[in-house]
Copies of this chain bind each other. A is one copy, B any other.
Amino acid sequence: MTQIKENSTRNFNKATSPCPVTYAINKIGGHWKPIILYQLMSGPKRYSELKRAIPAVTEKMLIQHLKQLQDDNLVIRKAENVVPPFVTYFLSEAGEDLTIVLNAMAEWGIRDSKRHLKSA
């Protein structure tokens, strides 16, 4: 039945990579995670605020990645038990620590796009 190999590269990857960059990628590597985290850097946000802040993301992706970020202890979800629901997301301590990374990424992005304007 076209089994997947026990020792496939895929399994090996997830298992034990001592590379800290690999470790980080596995936590913030999704296409949307850095963007979500970047939005949360400016403070707690409601679900609907995040959706508005990132128009390109679908509800499915937003929820899915928010869940993964919670599982990885980067984001904390706080829900008031009221009607209508009031749910806010904010960075955990580990999430706050990513500020340096995300800012570096953002700065590089700006610098690199400028570089291409010049050479164009």
Over the window 92-120 of chain A, the binary record of Cβ atoms lying under 8 Å from chain B Cβ atoms (1 yes, 0 no) is 00100110111011111111110110000
Q: Is A1 an interface position by the 8 A CB rule?
A: no
Contact in complex: B56, A105 (CB < 8 Å): no
Most buried by B among A21, A38, A94: A21
* C-alpha spacing A64/B69, complex, angstroms: 29
Contact in complex: B9, A22 (CB < 8 Å): no
Contact in complex: A98, B94 (CB < 8 Å): no
Interface of A toward B, CB cutoff 8 Å: 9, 12-13, 17, 19-25, 27, 29, 31, 34-35, 38, 55-58, 73, 94, 97-98, 100-102, 104-113, 115-116
